[in-house]
């Protein structure tokens, strides 16, 4: 999170806006809190240019619960839904849909270790929706192109790039994102759903808490929403507005990523396996030649105050998650450490 956002939260922690209490202590049905959740929603609507025929929900359960809610709400048990396999989260999303209905994989980069985004998708008739993972956090790939699959509604997990990279919400029937990557703390998931996708006749076995129609009717207040997390999204989106909006931040994020990719591409020591057109500007992955060097490098980063550089436990290697909160100086610092490390290795 940007330092200014954390400082604002600190300032308001004990006594929010002269109410005499913390946001954590407020009733979610109070006038004060209503203003906070409405402002969070309005900020998202302004920033992402969300049209009136989309609803914005603040839910719990992480992006992972959406893996289950999406098939249960958008498909019947007899329906077939499509998935593009671009990494671990994409596979998990499909696995949850498998519990509920029929699924087909219409594109996959699994055989090539998820180093690209498949653009030629197999055409299957009658799909209820097509699910994609917009930015693949672990593999450092991203949809930098628009996906069209006939008239089939497109559903996208944009957890790790929302607010950091521009995409047109009108290209999607549903977009979801766990807040903790680029938007706020863990515990809130934002779901943006086009109204015609909200069904009232969801299968009776689906619990109320897992039905979109229940949450849209309750305006995210069917039960107690994750109030403090939503407040943090409000502060974070205020900040994004102050920075000039998503497209302005994306320019900075492009610059940050370019610095790092350019250095890696010219380096003998560090490697990035991702096809250039599909590279993520939020998650830059890189590898070294062996485990020993990787561990030495991660230690060197730690010694220089750079943390969380280790790749996901499922793939190893390194990953720089350069979300909105990471200033360009942080990336420059990382490159300096990489250069030092490379020089030391070459000198032996
Ligand atoms: C982190 C992540 C998830 C999982 O999010 P949770 O909120 O932990 O369930 C899902 N999809 C993507 C793309 C992610 O980066």
Q: Say if residue 254's pLDDT is above 80.
A: yes
Burial class (CB in 10 A: 0-12, 13-18, 19+), 166: middle
Q: Evaluate whether 84 touches 107 at the Cβ level (below 8 Å).
A: yes
Q: What is the pLDDT of residue 79?
A: 98
63 CA → ligand 1 middle, Å: 5
Residue nearest to atom 7 of ligand 1 (CA): 62
64 CA → ligand 1 middle, Å: 6
CB of 67 shorter than 6 A to ligand 1: no
Per residue in 64-97, pLDDT tens?
999 999 999 999 999 999 999 999 999 999 999 9
HSE toward the beta carbon, residue 196, CA cutoff 13 A = 6
Residue nearest to atom 8 of ligand 1 (CA): 62
- Give CA torsion, residues 233, 239, 132, 79, to 10 deg: 40
Query: Mean per-residue pLDDT for 218-246?
Result: 97
Q: What is the pLDDT of residue 347?
A: 87
Atom of ligand 1 nearest to the CA of 180: 7
- The 10 Å Cβ neighbour count of residue 222 is 16
- What contacts 97, CB < 8 A, 6 or more positions away? 67, 70, 71, 75, 81, 83, 103, 131
Model confidence pTM above 0.85: yes
Report which DSSP code applies to 197: G
Q: Residue 116 — very low, low, confident or very high, per pLDDT cuts 50/70/90?
A: very high
Q: What is the pLDDT of residue 346?
A: 87
Which of 70, 91, 178, 190 has the most ligand 1 atoms within 8 A of CB, as the residue to mutate?
Answer: 178
Per residue in 13-68, pLDDT tens?
999 999 999 999 999 999 999 999 999 999 999 999 999 999 999 999 999 999 99
Q: Say if residue 246's pLDDT is above 90.
A: yes
Q: Say if residue 129's pLDDT is above 90.
A: yes
CB of 62 shorter than 6 A to ligand 1: yes
Query: Mean per-residue pLDDT for 224-251?
Result: 98
Per residue in 149-186, pLDDT tens?
999 999 999 999 999 999 999 999 999 999 999 999 99
109 CA → ligand 1 middle, Å: 19
Q: Say if residue 142's pLDDT is above 80.
A: yes
Q: Say if residue 348's pLDDT is above 80.
A: no
Query: Mean per-residue pLDDT for 87-112?
Result: 98
Q: What is the pLDDT of residue 164?
A: 97
Q: Residue 112 — very low, low, confident or very high, per pLDDT cuts 50/70/90?
A: very high
CB of 89 shorter than 6 A to ligand 1: yes
Which of 69, 85, 137, 177 has the most ligand 1 atoms within 8 A of CB, as the residue to mutate?
Answer: 137
CB of 60 shorter than 6 A to ligand 1: no
Task: Quote the CA–CA distance of 249 and 243 in Å, as a whole number.
Answer: 7
86 CA → ligand 1 middle, Å: 14
% of the chain surpassing 70 pLDDT: 100
Q: What is the pLDDT of residue 295?
A: 96
CB of 109 shorter than 6 A to ligand 1: no
End-to-end Cα spacing for the chain:
38
């Amino acid at each position: 999170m940007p330092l200014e956002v954390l400082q604002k939260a600190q300032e308001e922690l004990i006594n929010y806006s002269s109410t005499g209490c913390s946001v954590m202590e407020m009733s979610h049905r109070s006038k004060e809190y209503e203003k906070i959740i409405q402002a969070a929603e309005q900020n998202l609507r302004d920033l992402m240019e969300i049209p009136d025929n989309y609803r914005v929900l603040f839910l719990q359960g992480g992006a992972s619960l959406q893996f289950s809610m999406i098939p249960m709400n958008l498909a019947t048990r007899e329906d077939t839904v499509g998935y593009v396999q671009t990494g671990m989260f994409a596979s998990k999303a499909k696995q949850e849909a498998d519990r509920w209905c029929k699924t087909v994989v219409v594109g996959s980069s699994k055989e090539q270790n998820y180093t690209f985004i498949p653009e030629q998708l197999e055409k299957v008739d009658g799909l209820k929706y097509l699910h994609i993972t917009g930015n693949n956090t672990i593999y450092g790939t991203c949809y930098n192109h628009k996906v069209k699959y006939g008239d089939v509604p497109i559903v996208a997990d944009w957890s790790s790039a929302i607010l950091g990279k521009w995409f047109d919400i009108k290209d999607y029937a549903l977009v979801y994102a766990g807040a903790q990557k680029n938007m706020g703390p863990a515990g809130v998931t934002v779901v943006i759903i086009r109204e015609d996708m909200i069904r009232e006749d969801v299968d009776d076995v689906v619990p109320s808490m897992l039905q979109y129609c229940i949450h849209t009717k309750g305006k995210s207040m069917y039960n107690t929403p994750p109030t403090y997390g939503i407040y943090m999204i409000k502060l974070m989106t205020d900040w994004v507005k102050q920075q000039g909006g998503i497209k302005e931040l994306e320019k900075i994020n492009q610059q940050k990523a370019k610095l790092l990719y350019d250095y890696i591409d010219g380096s003998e020591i560090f490697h990035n396996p991702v096809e250039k057109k599909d590279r993520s500007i939020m998650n830059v992955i890189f590898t070294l030649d062996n485990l020993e060097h990787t561990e030495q490098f991660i230690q060197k980063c730690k010694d220089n105050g750079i943390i969380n550089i280790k790749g996901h436990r499922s793939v190893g290697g390194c990953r720089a998650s350069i979300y909105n909160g990471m200033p360009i100086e942080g990336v420059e610092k990382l490159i300096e450490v990489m250069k030092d490390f490379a020089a030391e290795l070459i000198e032996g």
